[in-house]
Every structure is written in structure tokens, then in C-alpha cells.
Amino acid sequence: MTSAQVETDGAPEEGYERGLGSRQVQMIAIGGAVGVGLFLGAGANIAKAGPSLIFMYALAGVIIFFIMRALGELLLYRPVSGSFAEYSREFLGPFFGYFTAWTYWLMWVVTGMAELTAAAIYVNYWFPAVSQWVTALAFLVILFVANLISVKLFGEIEFWFSMVKVTALIGMIVIGLGVLTFGFSSAGDTASVANLWQFDGFFPKGIGSSLMTLQGVMFAYLAVELVGVTAGESENPEKTLPKAINTLPWRIALFYVGALTVILCVVKWTEFAPGVSPFVEAFAKIGIPAGAGIVNFVVLTAALSSCNSGMYSTGRMLRTLADNGEAPRTFSRLSASKTPALGITISVAFMGIGVVLNYVVPEKAFGYVTSVATAAGIWTWLMILVSHVLYRRAVDAGRLPASSFPAPGGAKFSYVAIAFLLFVTGLIAYDADSRICLYVMAGWAFALWIGWLVLKSRNPQVTERREPALEKVL
């Protein structure tokens, strides 16, 4: 009997602790929609697209909602840790489950590198003499220790990290609206809704340039699917998961579209530059005493929050792989505090590559890792959507029970989202700067294929399609 199975008396043999309450799952979901892609990456995208970036975030946000409703239907059909990797395994076959789990692990390892890089950049705002790699290493160690202690501590840290950035974002929006309405502060004389179109129009560099920002925009949305990974450790997934997913549209509307609209009304888009948080820049222009420093602290918590989530997620994915015989068996063991300690440790060791990048190429580290993370994220989202389409076909044919949380429109919007993600992949291939991530992913795919062949020769039954032993929700 594997650690993911359940004994006949109904008690988990060696299962995860259901230590994430509704309050924590909700805030993890909210925090997942607000990350370093918005706080730091938006600066470069504003320089490329101007005010039209608002429309790009709104468009991508609609697609993300389609993806999350598809995942939500699958989660309430069978809530498990490892979620989308397990659904890929069930509906597309063992290889796709193996490939998706390892690729999602890669996505979070690389995202962790990006967040550590961003955190180091933010600390440089106060302490320019401190090397980026030193700060990145310090944060890596602190979060690693916290993740080893317990899932409750992870949830509590994530709750407060998310609370800080969400409260601050709402505060930024209110202050920005105050500047626009009452004209106070240093930016009051030039703040105007007309800033959205006065400087060469809403699409100042053309629609093509705006579309090219979609890859960066999609990176900003990475992590919204994290609620799917929390399914196996949520106290009441039937209630908490639908609520977390259904509140996604207003979170996107408020935190992305709303915040960017206000910022670009208060400060004209031509004053933003790559490598600088537009929120920090805007508050510097407004001239509120210590305002830029406070915002810098907030965006620092956002980066640490996402890195914290990455450590949580990677450990769980390695355990899912081990339970299915697709990673060393030792990764399936839980520590005394019910955390996959070895999986987290190995993942953190690979995140340490980000520390090395910050030492070798500090000015390029963020761009390199975000493009690879986006490509891995797109694969994960595609697998969610394709699994959803196949699940709906099985339900319509009477082979599987219907979910208690069906996606609106059945599988129709999943097809729309699949087409959109393929379009974004085409944009990545077209752009010379980001194209390198596709080469990295091709190398990654080849390495996984070799691993699969080795696995098949050593343990053939692991590579055969079978009913997965999934943890029941008690």
C-alpha cells in the first residue's frame, strides 16, 4: 500500500496533514494572482506596450479564468494533491502525467529563481552595496527552513505575505484614485485619465508590440493554479476550492487591470522603464514621504511569497512522482511534521542555481528565468485544458461521474484557451530574446524522454496505464 492510499479504517496511512484552512486557501489563491510578474515585470512591459498593457492583462485574465474553471471541475471530480499531473496521467496516459509533474516542478524551481532575483533587486533599493547573490542566498535559506517545519507554518506565512501585498495594492489604488480626483501630491498636476491615450494613443507602439508582451503577462499569472496543488491538504476542498476559483475574476480586475489603470493614469507611461517596479516608481513620483520605500517592502513580500509557494509546490510534485514510481522512492516519505522534506530540499538545491545566476549575470538573470518558467507554465495549463476536454467527453459518454463544480459552457472555453496558449507559444518562438526558452524546453523534453525509456526498461509496470491510487478526501 502506497503512502497516498487510505487504510480501511479511513485514516490516512501516511498522508498529508490537512492543515490548510479556508482562510489560508483563500489567501493563497489571492496571493497567487499577485506576484513579481506584476510588481517588477510590468515595468518592462509598459515600456513595450504603453497603456495597452491593461488590455493585455484583461485578455489573458479571461483565459486564466477559463483554465481555472476547467481545473475546478476536475478538482471536484477527484480532489488530490498533484492534481493536474494526476489528471494528465488519468486522461492522457502515464507519460503525460510523468512529463507534466516534472515540468511543473521545473516551472516552480525556475520561478523560485526569478523571485529570489527580484527580492535581491528590491533589497538593493535600500542597500545598493550588498551583492544580489548574497541577498538571494539568505532568503533561500530562511524560506527553506520554514517549509520544512509544517504545512500550517507554510499556510500562515503565505497568509500574511498575501495579506500585506493585497492590502497594499488596495491602498495604492485608493491613493491613486485620490490623486486623480483631488489632485494632491507632486503628481497631481499631471495625473489624468487622458494619460491613457494622450501620448501616442492607447497602442503607442502598435498592436504587434502589445501582443508581444503576452508572454510576460502570462508569467505574471503563473501560480493561480496553485490552489489545485493544495487540494490534498485543504480541510474542506468541496467548499474552499470553488470559492477560491470563482473569486478569481474580481481579483484579476482589481489587482491587475485596476491597479495598472490607476498607475498609468497617475504617471504617464513614458516614465516607466524595465528593471524598475512601476509601483515603486509611481509612488516616488507622487512624493509621499517614505511611500516608495513602503511599496518596495510590499513588492519584496510578493517575491518571497511566490518563492515560498514554489518550495511548497515542488516538494509535493516530487512526492507525486515518487508515489507513481517516476522518481526515487525516497521522495515519497514524509517527515514527522507531514512535509515532503527531501523533495523540498532537492528543489531548493536546484533553486540555488538562481543564486549562481545572480552572481554571474545579475542584470540578465530575471529575463532568462522568467521565459523558461512561462514556457513550462503554458505546458501545465495546456495539460489541464486537454484533460478537461477528455473528462467532459467521458462524462457525456456516461463513463465517469459528473463533477459538482462544472465549468460553464462545458469544454467550449477550454478549446478557446488552448488556441490562445498556442498563439502565445507562437509569439515566444517569434521573439528572438525569448525564443531561447523553447530550446531549453526542447532539451528538457529530450531529457525526460530518455528518463522515460530508462524507467520503462527497469520498471515496465510503472509506464503502463492504470487506475492511480489517489488520496481520498475524508
Contact 241, 76 (CB under 8 A): yes
User: Distance between CA 450 and CA 165 in Å, rounded?
Assistant: 42
Long-range contacts of 258-263 (CB under 8 A, 24+ apart): 258/173, 259/38, 259/169, 259/172, 259/173, 260/38, 260/42, 260/53, 260/54, 260/57, 261/54, 261/196, 262/172, 262/173, 262/176, 262/177, 262/180, 263/172, 263/176
* pLDDT tens per residue across span 35-65: 666 776 677 888 888 899 999 999 999 999 9
Percent of the chain with pLDDT over 70: 81
Phi, psi angle pair for 6, to nearest 5°: -125, 135
Q: What is the pLDDT of residue 7?
A: 34
Q: What cell was used for 53?
A: 498593457
The neighbouring-strand residues paired with 12 are 6
Q: What is the pLDDT of residue 3?
A: 36
* 314 to 117, 218, 327, 348: CA distances (angstroms): 18, 20, 13, 9
pLDDT tens for the 474 residues of the chain, in order: 333 333 333 333 345 555 555 566 666 666 655 666 677 667 788 888 889 999 999 999 999 999 999 998 998 888 776 567 888 988 998 899 889 989 988 888 888 887 887 788 888 888 888 887 888 888 888 888 877 776 667 777 777 877 887 788 888 888 888 888 887 766 667 778 888 888 888 999 999 889 988 988 888 888 777 766 665 555 666 777 787 788 778 878 888 888 889 988 888 888 887 767 787 778 777 877 677 788 788 878 878 877 877 787 788 778 878 887 888 888 877 777 677 778 888 888 888 887 777 677 666 666 677 778 888 989 999 999 999 999 999 999 999 899 888 999 889 999 999 999 999 999 988 888 778 888 989 999 999 999 999 988 887 877 776 664 444 433
Q: What is the pLDDT of residue 26?
A: 60
Q: What is the pLDDT of residue 324?
A: 78
Contact 132, 358 (CB under 8 A): yes
Q: Establish how many alpha carbons lie within 13 A of residue 118's alpha carbon, considering only the half-sphere containing its beta carbon.
A: 35
Q: What is the dihedral of CA 189, 190, 196, 198, to 10 degrees?
A: 120
Q: What cell was used for 318?
A: 516530487
Task: Name the DSSP class of 361.
Answer: -
Q: What cell was used for 447?
A: 531529457
Q: 390: how many CB neighbours lie within 10 A of its CB?
A: 18
Cell 489563491 belongs to 29
Q: 287: how many CB neighbours lie within 10 A of its CB?
A: 13
Q: What cell was used for 282?
A: 509611481
Helices (H), 78-150: 83-92, 94-126, 132-149
Q: What cell was used for 316?
A: 509535493
Phi, psi angle pair for 435, to nearest 5°: -60, -25
The neighbouring-strand residues paired with 20 are 234
Q: Mapped to the 3 state alphabet, what secondary structure does 395-447 carry? A: HHCCCCCCCCCCCCCCCHHHHHHHHHHHHHHHHHHHCCCCCHHHHHHHHHHHH
Task: Name the DSSP class of 190.
Answer: T
Sign of CA dihedral 433, 423, 257, 194: positive
Cell 507554465 belongs to 377
User: Distance between CA 72 and CA 159 in Å, rounded?
Assistant: 21
Phi, psi angle pair for 147, to nearest 5°: -70, -25
Contact 306, 111 (CB under 8 A): yes
Q: What is the pLDDT of residue 474?
A: 35
User: Distance between CA 176 and CA 198 in Å, rounded?
Assistant: 19
Contact 20, 28 (CB under 8 A): yes
For residue 381, give the amino acid letter.
W
The neighbouring-strand residues paired with 234 are 20
* 282 to 190, 264, 278: CA distances (angstroms): 12, 9, 6
Q: What is the dihedral of CA 214, 215, 218, 223, to 10 degrees?
A: -170
* pLDDT tens per residue across span 410-455: 899 999 999 999 999 999 888 887 788 889 899 999 999 999 999 8
Q: What is the pLDDT of residue 296?
A: 80
For residue 129, give the amino acid letter.
A
